[in-house]
């Protein structure tokens, strides 16, 4: 069987794994990959401290704590947490994988391992049993973990999934939190009329066969045959491939059909018990050792109960393996010197955690390691139960970007370490569903064209998901007509030539702070300049020898970019609609720059975006307004019309900004600059804007002069207009002045006769501030 | 994706536990440490918008002419409009005819797609219509065609030969200022313009003899004076991006400084990266030479680390090794009697002032010999770290290990012994960097349901670092990233500017 097929077979909403050994790089490169491909998310690893310790040494595995959780589970009685269970859940269904393989490359195909794929439809008892296992994990004195509530939730989901299914009683899961595996096994053998033959398959035994001896005694079966795997067994530290000092009572056989022809090293663990009334078959995590079957370890395995069985393992005589120098005496050497393990979670600026093994209390030094730095966090008090709490300001954003936070505690040369889960990230995964990995990629700066297209589509689906306070909705529609490729007209060609949890909130009410926080970070990501995606066949991961791959990538990226531009055009309508009241204009500006930066569309497209967005920016006083100033100047400077400085000035003045107090920096908008005017001197243009006067300002100056409140200067454009003779006369003549019609706001009809002005005159009045009707001059101050 | 119900049915029918299948792994990836993108960024500071393929002028002219011809056909149509796909098909046809004609005249013509064109070379005529043509056309658009993103496509736009038509993806017009150039180009085959291939959308048939004749009229390597002039204006003249103007001027300055008409491309590359004192006329060395040297220093750094990764795979082939064992094997290979006490007095104490390209070539040679590789890596790293800048550029993502970050970290390790220094280097710059990028790229593919390949080659397991199951050979040694210089020189030569 290929368990990865199950991992990628459905959009699992919750996945939990238990393991002893752990390779995080395997988990991220293989399992997380398969999970994502199936649309799954929300993975939790419950691992023995030994596995966590291995993970801590894997500096390259950076998604831990952010894209998935890891929780250590320690045994308080010096045993190890050894079960290998995978539980996979959709809303209304669950599957279990229970076997012998750890979460490592070897455990998922490198070794000879066994696994059972169970479903409530035929193994409901097993789901009850595993639910019981997780319940006991949450409450047992034998266990030290911070994952109690997660285990209880898993148990509840397992019980729910098994509701309504028949209990056939033929497949159970035995676990050692109920009592020893061997004793539970013995109870079943009694029901089956007693054992006549036992065959064990195990990579490890006690050196002197204590476990075997105890099992034989318990089952009242003197002889147990042991599978001697032709390709050897996985070598474990301090383990023995055979009961070398256990006497001659254990016969070496080869379970040839089931295992013998597999040339991988054996790590599978299974016991076949042939009984008078049938067959029992146990497989799972328990080695045939005293610790595995009787002792301190936490183990789990599937027991198949086959009354009246007709088929049994076929065995042949074999030779026991010879003892090599690698077979050690049982020992725990080195364990005491290993780094201690803790569990921790970052919520906002607070880290809450607990030391699991070895226990300590009192004051300890604390440090926090990220992929980019190590910070000293001072001293913290550990309570008697190992719990602690400390403040870690400013770490959250970095953790979102980089993942992998390792908290270290130290006292008297002794050190404890553990991964810090980022509560907000995990909450985001839970709430946003399948888009979460793409949002995570966006935050980490590793987004692809397909990610951006998908995120934009997600925003379009429901614009209220957008960062910032966009109140507008309605643009999204599942029934959107497919965009048709319109005819391209000669005019287009000429023009080109010339131009050279899914609602996003905490529920029906207000969005949660976590959500707002996450969206603020997404928005911040959109304001970053990350440069164009590698185009032109020059990307870093292309295999030069695989031309088809490059073609495929080029094609899919081009399509994704095209899609992003299309979606953004639609989204822009929603963001700038009347309901939005300009509140999303700055977000739209950031998004447009992000897309311009990444995709580098045609300059005309970018100009069009700015033409749409900039008029909607109503407030240039806010903390983010700086990002708008340079685009405003750039857009006007790139416009070749003669009055561009005046129009730029009008833009600022209307928003209550005096351009002479502005400075311009294009650092935040390199793509706009590249596309719209790499050679434009915006500082010089700003000087022009500062020196220019809008028609409104000129009209004000004129009015001041006419009313004797100011000098007759500052209205040069009026002097050059066709209306100047009338205006000049009114300057010194109160009667003439009284005949002028003054508008505070533009209107397209004459205020005197109420007739609509001719289009050209109305446009002049709107743009240039002057028109005439009824033999009078009309002045519009609002231009 | 496997069907869940099938898996469930198999599980339901199983009477015994089942053995987990051996994983079938497709390995892949050519950027194991994620270092290459910064190389591209640095190249963009000297020779932006060029790639390593688009090295002739004529394809630029041809594509601009083809799009201008689209306009001509539309103007002469009754509707004054056409479907975008018809327009694209017309241009695809012209460029396919061009490629066909060039291969007919010269089977080794320096344009992409000789292999794919082979079947057409035998045909007496070809119908540009129907399924075969559509399949060929669609393939060319993204691979061997001139407009493909892998070939001339990007620079046709970024160098201003083609202007996108707003609102119509994949539709372009020639820059109007090119009209005299395109007129001159067209003049050579104006007598042929009556052929339906140049005058209508939709299926047309072209005889091999026609194509062969046209091939000589619009030959790849014979651009007209107007084309040459127009290209230079865009390559390194007034219409070029400022950075490229400086980069092109640097090439010309280096060539002039060599004062050797027979100077090879490699000679020019070396001189461009030389320190001022190596120049015949140090005062003639343009400032852009510093940028070029930075490109080559980064190339050296990247190849040194990828070389170390390559060496590590070789070292792990016999079995797992701990970091300490790897370091010992590596340092033993240096065959130095005694190393200094600290890294600061060893790899960080280099006063090497050689040209990075010389080290690059030595490293390339050493990559064929596992035993000699460590020494070449140390030499390369020493120079790269010595010349590493203090600050990084905005495009240098820290995750891609910019040299400035490497220098900071190496300096912080300077008091460590060479062995401990190398242990840090192995664990952080090689193993962690490799895992991070391999996983990141795989997950990006996974998010888009893209290819499933395993890029991860080295993992931590019991016994230390080990190769991922299925890794049975060292593979091909890494190569420097092609630096676009050959393209730039080729275009300059065609422009009569070198």
CA atoms within a 13 Å half-sphere pointing along the CA-CB vector of A758: 6
- Same domain for B390 and B263, yes or no, is no
- Residue found under tokens 């045939």: A288
Domain boundary among B182, B205, B224: B224
A503: pLDDT strictly greater than 70? no
Domain covering A170-324, topology: Endonuclease; Chain A (3.30.870)
Please list every residue in chain B whose beta carbon sits closer than 8 Å to the beta carbon of residue A62: 436, 439
pTM confidence score: 0.84
Q: Which two tokens stand for residue A351?
A: 């880290």
- Same domain for B81 and B142, yes or no, is yes
Query: In DSSP terms, which residues pair with B27 in a beta bridge?
Result: B454
**Distance (Å, rounded) from C-alpha B475 to C-alpha A421?**
38
CA nearest to B146 within chain A: A536
Q: Which two tokens stand for residue B207?
A: 């005889």
Q: Is A256 exposed, middle or buried (0-12, 13-18, 19+ CB in 10 A)?
A: middle
- Give the number of other CB atoms < 10 A from CB of residue B269: 21
- Same domain for B295 and B427, yes or no, is yes
Report angle CA B86, B89, B93 to the nearest 5 degrees: 140
- Mean pLDDT, range A56-62, rounded to an integer: 92
DSSP H helices, B28-149, are 36-44, 58-75, 84-105, 114-122, 130-142
Query: In DSSP terms, which residues pair with A270 in a beta bridge?
Result: A201, A283
pLDDT of residue B471: 86
- Same domain for B248 and B349, yes or no, is no
In this structure, is residue B417 part of a structural domain? Answer: yes
In this structure, is residue B179 part of a structural domain? Answer: yes
CA nearest to B7 within chain A: A6
DSSP H helices, A171-249, are 181-191, 210-219
Longest dimension (CA), chain A: 129
CA nearest to A56 within chain B: B460
**Distance (Å, rounded) from C-alpha A157 to C-alpha A124?**
13
In this structure, is residue B35 part of a structural domain? Answer: no
Going by DSSP bridges, is the β-strand pair A741-743/A776-780 parallel, antiparallel, or unpaired?
parallel
pLDDT of residue A509: 47
Q: How far is CA B469 from CA A106, A627, B46, in A?
A: 8, 51, 42
CA distance A730 to chain B (A): 49
pLDDT of residue A337: 65
pLDDT in tens, A459-489: 999 887 876 533 332 233 333 333 334 455 5
- Same domain for B201 and B169, yes or no, is yes
Q: Which long-range contacts (CB under 8 A, 24 or more apart) does B272-278 make?
A: B272/B485, B273/B355, B273/B356, B273/B357, B274/B355, B275/B353, B275/B355, B278/B355
Taking an 8 Å cut-off on Cβ atoms, the answer to whether B71 and A446 are in contact is no
pLDDT band (50, 70, 90) for residue A534: low
Q: Which two tokens stand for residue A360?
A: 């300590």
In this structure, is residue B21 part of a structural domain? Answer: no
pLDDT of residue A33: 95
In this structure, is residue B2 part of a structural domain? Answer: no
- Mean pLDDT, range A128-133, rounded to an integer: 98
Q: How far is CA A52 from CA A19, A378, A616, B13, B434, in A?
A: 10, 24, 52, 36, 20
In this structure, is residue B12 part of a structural domain? Answer: no
Decide: B340 and B349 in contact? Cβ < 8 Å. yes
Taking an 8 Å cut-off on Cβ atoms, the answer to whether B171 and A497 are in contact is no
**Residue A469 contacts by C-beta under 8 Å, 6 or more apart in sequence?**
A583, A584
The conformation of residue A276, written as its DSSP 8-state character, comes to T
Of B174, B447, B468, the CB nearest to A450: B447
Decide: B253 and B285 in contact? Cβ < 8 Å. yes
**Residue A578 contacts by C-beta under 8 Å, 6 or more apart in sequence?**
A472
- Give the number of other CB atoms < 10 A from CB of residue B320: 17
pLDDT in tens, B460-493: 887 789 999 888 888 899 999 899 999 999 999 9
Q: Three-state SS across A13-73?
A: CEEEEEECCECHHHHHHHHHHHHHHCCCCCEEEEECHHHHHHHHCCCCCCCECCCEEEEEE
pLDDT of residue B23: 81
Q: Tell me the pLDDT of chain A averaged across its residues.
A: 87
pLDDT in tens, A270-323: 999 999 999 999 999 999 999 999 988 999 999 999 998 989 999 999 999 988
pLDDT band (50, 70, 90) for residue A325: low
In chain A, ranges of CATH 2.60.40.2320 domains? 342-425
Decide: A298 and A142 in contact? Cβ < 8 Å. yes
pLDDT of residue A513: 62
Q: Which of A538, A545, A599, A605 to mutate to test the interface with B (most CBs of B within 10 A)?
A: A538
List, as one string, the DSSP characters of A708-754: TSS-S-S-HHHHTSTTHHHHHHHHS-HHHHHHSEEESS--SB-TTT-
CA distance A122 to chain B (A): 7
**Distance (Å, rounded) from C-alpha A215 to C-alpha A197?**
12
pLDDT in tens, A536-566: 455 665 554 566 677 777 778 888 998 999 9
Q: Which two tokens stand for residue B483?
A: 């630096």
Decide: A285 and A84 in contact? Cβ < 8 Å. yes
**Distance (Å, rounded) from C-alpha B370 to C-alpha A676?**
52
CA distance A550 to chain B (A): 8
CA atoms within a 13 Å half-sphere pointing along the CA-CB vector of A710: 12
Q: Which two tokens stand for residue B201?
A: 């959308």
Choices 3.40.50.720, 1.10.357.10, 2.120.10.70, 3.30.870.10: CATH for A1-167: 3.30.870.10
Question: What is the total count of domains within chain B?
Answer: 3
**Distance (Å, rounded) from C-alpha B52 to C-alpha B152?**
10
**Residue A496 contacts by C-beta under 8 Å, 6 or more apart in sequence?**
A602, A604, B163, B164, B165, B166, B171, B172, B173
The conformation of residue A247, written as its DSSP 8-state character, comes to -
In this structure, is residue B38 part of a structural domain? Answer: no
Taking an 8 Å cut-off on Cβ atoms, the answer to whether B166 and A10 are in contact is no
pLDDT of residue A409: 98
Low-confidence ranges of chain B (pLDDT < 70): 1
Q: Is A174 exposed, middle or buried (0-12, 13-18, 19+ CB in 10 A)?
A: buried
- Same domain for B273 and B320, yes or no, is no
Query: In DSSP terms, which residues pair with A145 in a beta bridge?
Result: A73
CATH number of A342-425: 2.60.40.2320
**Distance (Å, rounded) from C-alpha A325 to C-alpha B494?**
71
Domain boundaries, position B240: 229-286+484-494
Give kind and range of the element (H or E) at residue B107: none
Taking an 8 Å cut-off on Cβ atoms, the answer to whether A121 and B12 are in contact is yes
- Mean pLDDT, range A444-448, rounded to an integer: 85
Which sign does the torsion angle of CA A698, A700, A703, A708 carry? negative
**Distance (Å, rounded) from C-alpha A379 to C-alpha A5?**
47
pLDDT in tens, A99-116: 999 999 999 999 999 999
pLDDT in tens, A391-430: 988 887 778 777 799 999 999 999 999 999 988 888 888 8
More confident residue, A397 or A687: A687
Please list every residue in chain A whose beta carbon sits closer than 8 Å to the beta carbon of residue B143: 547-548, 550-551
Taking an 8 Å cut-off on Cβ atoms, the answer to whether A109 and B14 are in contact is no
The four Cα atoms A56, A60, A62, A68 give a dihedral, to 10 degrees, of -70
A78: pLDDT strictly greater than 70? yes
pLDDT in tens, B307-355: 999 999 999 999 999 999 999 999 999 988 889 999 999 999 999 999 9
Decide: A463 and A575 in contact? Cβ < 8 Å. yes
Rounded to the nearest 5°, which phi and psi values hold at A483? -60, 130
**Residue B24 contacts by C-beta under 8 Å, 6 or more apart in sequence?**
none
Length of chain B: 498
In this structure, is residue B93 part of a structural domain? Answer: yes
- Give the number of other CB atoms < 10 A from CB of residue A517: 18
In chain A, ranges of CATH 3.30.870.10 domains? 1-167
Q: Is A456 exposed, middle or buried (0-12, 13-18, 19+ CB in 10 A)?
A: buried
- Residue found under tokens 């400032």: B287
Of A36, A106, A108, the CB nearest to B446: A36
Rounded to the nearest 5°, which phi and psi values hold at A63? -90, -10
Please list every residue in chain A whose beta carbon sits closer than 8 Å to the beta carbon of residue B439: 25, 28-29, 32, 60-63
List, as one string, the DSSP characters of B234-251: HHTSTTS-HHHHHHHHHH
- Same domain for B246 and B165, yes or no, is no
- Same domain for B175 and B295, yes or no, is no
Of B2, B451, B468, the CB nearest to A549: B451
Q: Which of B3, B4, B10, B17 to mutate to test the interface with A (most CBs of A within 10 A)?
A: B17
**Distance (Å, rounded) from C-alpha A526 to C-alpha A587?**
8
- Mean pLDDT, range A338-353, rounded to an integer: 92
pLDDT in tens, A171-215: 999 999 989 999 999 999 999 999 999 999 999 999 999 999 999
């Amino acid at each position: 069987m290929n368990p990865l097929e199950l991992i990628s077979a459905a959009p699992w909403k919750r996945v939990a794994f238990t393991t002893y050994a752990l390779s995080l790089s395997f988990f991220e490169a293989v399992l997380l990959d398969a999970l994502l491909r199936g649309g799954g998310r929300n993975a939790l690893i419950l691992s023995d401290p030994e596995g966590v310790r291995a993970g801590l040494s894997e500096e390259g595995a950076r998604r831990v704590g952010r894209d998935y959780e890891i929780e250590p589970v320690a045994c308080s009685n010096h045993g190890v947490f050894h079960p290998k269970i995978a539980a996979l859940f959709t809303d209304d269904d669950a599957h279990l994988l229970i076997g012998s393989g750890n979460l490592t490359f070897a455990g998922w195909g490198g070794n000879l391992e066994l696994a059972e794929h169970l479903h409530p439809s035929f193994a409901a008892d097993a789901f009850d049993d595993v639910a019981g296992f997780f319940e006991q994990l949450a409450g047992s004195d034998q266990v030290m973990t911070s994952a109690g509530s997660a285990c209880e939730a898993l148990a509840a989901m397992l019980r729910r999934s098994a509701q309504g299914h028949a209990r056939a009683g033929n497949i159970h899961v035995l676990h050692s939190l109920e009592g020893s595996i061997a004793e539970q096994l013995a109870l079943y053998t009694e029901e089956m009329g007693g054992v006549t033959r036992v065959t064990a398959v195990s990579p490890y035994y006690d050196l002197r066969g204590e476990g075997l001896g105890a099992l034989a005694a318990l089952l009242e079966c003197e002889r147990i045959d042991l599978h001697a795997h032709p390709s050897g067994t996985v070598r474990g530290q301090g383990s023995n491939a055979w009961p070398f000092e256990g006497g001659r009572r254990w016969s070496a056989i080869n379970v040839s059909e089931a295992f013998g022809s597999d040339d991988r090293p054996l790590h599978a663990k299974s016991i076949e018990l042939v009984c008078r009334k049938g067959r029992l078959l146990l497989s799972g995590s328990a080695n045939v050792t005293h610790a595995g079957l009787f002792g301190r370890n936490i183990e789990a395995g599937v027991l198949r109960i086959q009354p009246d069985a007709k088929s049994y393992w076929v065995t042949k005589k074999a030779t026991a393996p010879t003892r090599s120098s690698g077979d050690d005496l049982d020992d725990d050497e080195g364990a005491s010197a290993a780094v201690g393990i803790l569990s921790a979670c970052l919520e906002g600026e607070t880290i809450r955690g607990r030391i699991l093994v070895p226990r300590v209390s009192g004051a300890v030094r604390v440090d926090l390691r990220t992929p980019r730095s190590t910070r000293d966090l001072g001293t913290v008090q550990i309570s008697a139960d190992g719990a602690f709490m400390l403040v870690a300001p400013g770490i959250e954003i970095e953790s979102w970007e980089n993942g992998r936070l390792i908290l270290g505690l130290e006292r008297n040369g002794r050190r404890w370490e553990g991964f810090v889960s980022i509560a907000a990230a995990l909450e985001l995964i839970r709430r946003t569903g399948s888009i979460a990995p793409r949002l995570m990629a966006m935050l980490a700066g590793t987004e692809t064209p397909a990610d951006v297209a998908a995120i934009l589509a997600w925003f379009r689906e429901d614009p209220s998901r957008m960062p910032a306070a966009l109140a507008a909705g309605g643009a999204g529609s599942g029934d959107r007509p497919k965009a048709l490729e319109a005819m391209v007209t000669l005019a287009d060609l000429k023009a080109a030539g010339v131009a050279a949890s899914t609602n996003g909130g905490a529920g029906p009410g207000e969005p949660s702070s976590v959500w707002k926080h996450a969206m603020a970070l997404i928005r911040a990501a959109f304001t970053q300049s990350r440069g164009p995606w590698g185009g032109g066949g020059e990307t870093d991961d292309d295999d030069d020898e695989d031309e088809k791959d490059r073609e495929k990538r080029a094609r899919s990226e081009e399509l994704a970019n095209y899609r992003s531009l299309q979606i953004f055009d639609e989204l822009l309508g929603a963001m700038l609609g009347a309901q939005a009241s300009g509140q999303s204009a700055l977000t739209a500006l950031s998004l447009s720059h992000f897309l311009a930066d990444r995709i580098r569309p045609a300059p005309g497209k970018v100009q069009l975006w700015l033409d749409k967005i900039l008029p909607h920016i109503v407030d240039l006083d806010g903390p983010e307004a700086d990002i708008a100033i340079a685009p405003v100047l750039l857009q006007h400077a790139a416009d070749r019309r003669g009055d561009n400085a005046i129009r730029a000035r009008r833009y600022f003045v209307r928003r209550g900004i005096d351009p002479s107090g502005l400075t311009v920096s294009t650092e935040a908008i390199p793509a706009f600059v590249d596309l719209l005017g790499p050679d434009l001197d915006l500082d010089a243009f700003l000087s022009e804007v500062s020196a220019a006067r809008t028609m409104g300002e000129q009209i004000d100056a004129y009015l001041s002069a006419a009313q004797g409140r100011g000098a007759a200067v500052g209205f040069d454009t009026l002097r050059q207009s066709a209306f100047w003779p009338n205006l000049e006369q009114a300057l010194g003549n109160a009667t003439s002045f009284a005949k002028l019609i003054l508008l505070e706001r533009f209107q397209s009809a004459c205020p005197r006769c109420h007739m609509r002005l001719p289009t050209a005159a109305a446009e002049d009045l709107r743009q240039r501030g002057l028109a005439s009707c009824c033999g009078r001059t009309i002045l519009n101050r609002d231009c | 994706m496997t069907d869940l119900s099938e898996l469930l049915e198999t599980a339901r029918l199983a009477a015994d536990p089942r053995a987990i299948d051996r994983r079938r792994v497709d390995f892949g990836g050519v950027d194991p440490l994620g270092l290459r993108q910064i190389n591209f960024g640095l190249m963009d500071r000297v020779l932006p918008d060029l790639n390593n393929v688009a090295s002739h002028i004529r394809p630029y002219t041809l594509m601009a002419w083809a799009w201008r011809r689209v306009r001509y056909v539309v103007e002469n149509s009754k509707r004054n409009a056409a479907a975008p796909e018809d327009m694209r098909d017309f241009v695809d046809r012209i460029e396919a005819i061009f490629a066909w004609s060039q291969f007919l005249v010269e089977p080794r013509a320096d344009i992409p797609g000789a292999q794919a064109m082979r079947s057409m070379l035998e045909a007496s005529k070809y119908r540009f219509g129907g399924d075969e043509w559509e399949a060929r056309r669609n393939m060319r658009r993204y691979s061997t065609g001139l407009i493909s993103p892998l070939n001339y496509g990007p620079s046709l736009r970024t160098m201003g030969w083609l202007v996108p038509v707003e609102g119509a993806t994949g539709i372009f017009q020639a820059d109007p200022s090119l009209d005299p150039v395109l007129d001159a180009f067209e003049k050579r085959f104006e007598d042929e313009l009556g052929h339906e291939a140049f005058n209508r959308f939709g299926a047309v048939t072209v005889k091999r003899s026609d194509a062969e004749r046209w091939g000589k009229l619009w030959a790849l390597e014979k651009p007209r004076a107007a084309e040459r002039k127009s290209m230079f204006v865009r390559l390194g003249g007034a219409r070029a991006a400022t950075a490229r103007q400086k980069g092109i001027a640097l090439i010309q300055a280096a060539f002039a400084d060599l004062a050797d008409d027979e100077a090879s491309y490699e000679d020019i590359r070396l001189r461009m990266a030389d320190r001022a004192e190596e120049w015949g006329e140090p005062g003639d060395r343009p400032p852009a030479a510093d940028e070029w040297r930075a490109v080559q220093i980064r190339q050296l750094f990247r190849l040194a680390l990828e070389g170390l990764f390559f060496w590590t795979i070789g070292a792990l082939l016999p079995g797992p090794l701990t970091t300490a064992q790897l370091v010992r094997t590596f340092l033993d290979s240096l065959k130095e009697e005694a190393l200094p006490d600290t890294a600061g007095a060893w790899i960080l104490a280099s006063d090497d002032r050689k040209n990075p390209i010389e080290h690059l070539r030595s490293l390339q040679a050493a990559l064929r010999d596992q035993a000699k590789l460590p020494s070449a890596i140390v030499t390369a790293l020493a120079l790269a770290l010595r010349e590493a800048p203090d600050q990084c550029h905005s495009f240098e993502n820290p995750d891609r290990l910019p040299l400035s970050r490497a220098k900071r970290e190496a300096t912080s390790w300077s008091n460590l012994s060479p062995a401990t220094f190398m242990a840090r280097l192995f664990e952080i710059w090689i193993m962690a960097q490799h895992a991070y990028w391999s996983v990141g790229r795989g997950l990006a593919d996974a998010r888009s349901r893209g290819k499933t390949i395993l890029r991860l080659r080295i993992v931590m397991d019991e016994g230390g670092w080990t190769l991922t199951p299925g890794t049975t050979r060292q593979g091909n040694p890494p190569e420097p990233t092609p630096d676009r210089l050959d393209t730039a020189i080729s275009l300059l030569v065609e422009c009569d500017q070198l």
